[in-house]
């Protein structure tokens, strides 16, 4: 069993590092400077320079790899590109080369021939297949939850009913297409507690609010509920969010839909409570990380 990520680590990464090390040395950087830029040891740079690291010729000869390495070497040597920016550019290229039929996908299928015969209904290198789409949503949700867990004071924003951070697939139609935290997030002795890893189909309430907002035109793929306070609402408004009120004592889907239709640009929905209903604020966003960041800014 070999994953495409192993191809990236074992063949793509050494090849690109070797090419970059050579290009940077050609531009006058010392071995120590190359090591700092690439985040590797000087001994590793020496191995690249002396050809002691096995590289993949097909990767090295790919025009896109050659062009990016040359561009990044110019930028890194001049200080116009940071190592983080270079990393992002390389990550983007990796994703392109992993897509169906491209270079890394070809190398992977050559290493695991059975992949080519797995069936037309599922292609491991198709970036839009359901498995990858769902995993991207869960990955984003995990990152958002880490932001909240590491944000000191988030527990103070959790309502009595608990909070939930949710995110959905691009074509979400019902709660089964929305991932969230089973059992919700609770304040346990001043500490935000996430009881288990996110799953699809475990959030009824916050998922319903997100789906209703999307159905009526909201450009959102994630949401969270926090406690309602006028000061929190004012702070969100000051940060540039557009707010809209809805009445949760009525049908949630209809009420949220009406609020979005009245205020199409709304990124914050709220309801001020009623008999047996806790007042809540719902923050919407393009992904779980941006929603978590918006909430963190309130602390």
Does 122 score more than 50 pLDDT? no
Strand order in the sheet with 280-285: 199-200, 178-180, 165-168, 222-227, 280-285, 268-271, 243-245
Least confident residue range of 97-111, 146-160, 204-218? 97-111
| Residues 27-86: tens digit of each pLDDT | 999 999 998 988 888 888 888 878 888 889 999 999 999 999 999 999 999 988 888 888
For 246-299, write each residue's pLDDT tens digit.
987 778 889 999 999 999 999 999 999 878 889 999 999 999 999 999 999 999
Q: How confident is the model at residue 95 (pLDDT cuts 50, 70, 90)?
A: confident
Mean pLDDT of 118-127: 46
Question: CB atoms < 10 A from the CB of 118, how many?
Answer: 12
Note the pLDDT of residue 131: 59
pLDDT bracket for residue 125 (50, 70, 90)? very low
* pLDDT > 50? residue 119: no
Instruction: Please tell me the predicted confidence (pLDDT) of residue 117.
Output: 58
pLDDT tens string 107-118 = 877 877 766 555
């Amino acid at each position: 069993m070999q994953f495409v990520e192993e191809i990236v680590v074992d063949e793509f990464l050494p090849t690109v590092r070797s090419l970059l090390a050579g290009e940077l040395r050609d531009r006058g950087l010392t071995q120590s400077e190359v090591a700092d830029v690439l985040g590797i040891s000087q001994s590793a740079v020496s191995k690249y320079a002396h050809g002691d690291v096995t590289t993949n010729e097909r990767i090295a000869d790919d025009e896109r790899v050659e062009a990016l390495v040359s561009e990044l070497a110019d930028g890194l040597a001049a200080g116009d590109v940071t190592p983080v920016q270079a990393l992002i550019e390389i990550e983007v290229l990796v994703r392109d080369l992993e897509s169906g039929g491209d270079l890394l996908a070809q190398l992977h299928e050559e290493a695991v021939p059975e992949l080519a015969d797995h069936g037309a209904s599922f292609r491991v290198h198709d970036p839009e297949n359901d498995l990858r789409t769902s995993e991207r949503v869960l990955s984003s949700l995990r990152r958002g939850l880490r932001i909240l867990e590491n944000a000191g004071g988030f527990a103070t924003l959790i309502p009595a009913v608990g909070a939930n951070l949710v995110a959905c697939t691009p074509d979400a139609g019902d709660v089964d297409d929305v991932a969230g935290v089973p059992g919700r997030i609770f304040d346990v002795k001043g500490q935000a507690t996430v009881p288990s890893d996110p799953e699809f189909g475990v959030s009824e309430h916050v998922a319903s609010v997100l789906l209703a907002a999307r159905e009526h035109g909201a450009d959102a793929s994630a949401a969270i509920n926090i406690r309602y306070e006028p000061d929190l609402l004012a702070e969100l408004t000051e940060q540039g969010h557009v707010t809209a009120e809805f009445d949760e004592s009525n049908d949630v889907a209809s009420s949220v839909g009406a609020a979005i239709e009245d205020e199409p640009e709304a990124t914050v929905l709220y309801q001020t409570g009623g008999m047996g209903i806790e007042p809540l604020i719902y923050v919407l966003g393009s992904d779980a990380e941006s929603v978590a960041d918006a909430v963190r800014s309130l602390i």
